Amino acid sequence: MKVPFVNLGLQHRLIKDELLDIVSGLLDSGQFILGDDLATFEKSFAYLCGTKYALGVANGTDALFLSMIAMGIQQGDEVITAPNSFLASASSIHLAGATPVFADVKEDFLLDPDKVRKAITPRTRAIMPVHLTGRPADMDAMIEIAREYNLAVVEDCAQAVCAEYKGRPVGSFGEVGCFSLHPLKNLSVCGDGGVITTSNEALYHKLLKARNHGLKNRDECEFWSFNSRLDNLQAALLNVKLKKLPEWTARRREIASRYVERLSDTNLVIPVDKPSEKAVYHTFIIQCERRDELKNFLAEHEIDSKIHYPLPIHLQEAAKYLGYRKGDFPVTEKQSKTILSLPVFPELTNEQIDYVCDTINEFLIPYSTQNLE
């Protein structure tokens, strides 16, 4: 049995006719930039996230970086984020002119509030919790720290659309929530895209200009800015996909619980849900001491797995100027050697999940008996 890591073709096949109708309609109407479909999508997305506003941008990295610029974060400022995230969490801070400062994570891959506190300096302007793997970060703690030190909170929600913390959707806690619509994310466009959520009216109006050349109307430019809009065509496709999102999210959670059930007897570290959260399983990451061997074993059995991410951000060549060293973030560094992402996408079948778990168990059994001898 073959188990791919994702199957984007399959996901689109079921709604293909509807998507094609939309493309055809848009070719006729010629509404390509900042059209009605984008406005409709933004309204629905804000509603979904429990915020007053949402605005589409060109990608998730721009969502982060434009938000920080619009909030006035600049050179000399520091923003605290997680070193185990996708690199764009940090690069966006640099691109906004500020300095990324890392704080280590906990066993659940999410920012450790105690480590965040220790990373605060007089230059700290914001905290960027990353809801990595689709699990909400400890937002009570993040908000408390932010209040105490008068910091902004920029949520990196790229992996976590529809995730909830204490019954409240991510993207509604910080000054802004930044989402990616990259094809591999839980809600995606057919290309690149991103969304920003906020309930701050002034910030919203600043962002509307920031994504559109700094224009305040058709002819008048208030400040030089970027061209980073979400295509109306992509938004129109999203309006169809949004209807499917609850079903897709439910299936991701179902897949995760099936994995948990079938892997709970092993000595692997597996993700656990907390009653106070709803995780949406962008990834399902297990931890195994013999990770590379397990990955190869799965590949030999035609099961695709990935590592998110093998090289922590602070050890990337691009981050050298920040002066971090190996050993600075022990939890992140240890996890980078043991983590393995198993396939989790809505169209994955129960048979495939069981096959993955059987194969993992087959890999582990010889070692567990060796341990007994």
List contacts with ligand PLP (CB under 6 A): 59-61, 85-86, 88-89, 130, 156, 158-159, 180, 182, 192, 194
CB neighbour list of residue 211: distance below 8 Å, 6 or more residues apart = 55, 57, 58, 62, 66, 225, 226, 227, 228, 229
C-beta of 258: minimal distance to ligand PLP in Å? 24
Taking the C-alpha atoms of residue 292 and residue 166, their distance in angstroms, rounded to an integer, is 36
Q: Which is nearer to ligand PLP, 177 or 294 (CB)?
A: 177
Biggest CA pair distance of the chain: 79
Q: Which is nearer to ligand PLP, 67 or 359 (CB)?
A: 67
Q: Which is nearer to ligand PLP, 61 or 359 (CB)?
A: 61
Q: Which is nearer to ligand PLP, 196 or 360 (CB)?
A: 196
Q: Which is nearer to ligand PLP, 85 or 199 (CB)?
A: 85
Residue 213: closest CA among 66, 78, 65, 11: 66
Q: Which is nearer to ligand PLP, 183 or 361 (CB)?
A: 183
β-pair type (194-198, 176-180): antiparallel
Residue 323: closest CA among 102, 53, 19: 102
DSSP letters spanning 240-253? HHHHHHHHHHHHHH
Give Cα 177 distance to the centre of its chain. Answer: 11
C-beta of 40: minimal distance to ligand PLP in Å? 21
C-beta of 89: minimal distance to ligand PLP in Å? 5
C-beta of 340: minimal distance to ligand PLP in Å? 17
Closest CB to ligand PLP: residue number: 60
Strands (E), the chain: 53-57, 78-81, 99-102, 124-127, 152-156, 164-165, 168-169, 176-180, 194-198, 277-278, 284-287, 339-342
C-beta of 164: minimal distance to ligand PLP in Å? 18
C-beta of 85: minimal distance to ligand PLP in Å? 5
Q: Which is nearer to ligand PLP, 88 or 303 (CB)?
A: 88
Token code pair at residue 81: 């984020």
C-beta of 92: minimal distance to ligand PLP in Å? 7
Token code pair at residue 195: 């969304």
Token code pair at residue 314: 């602070």
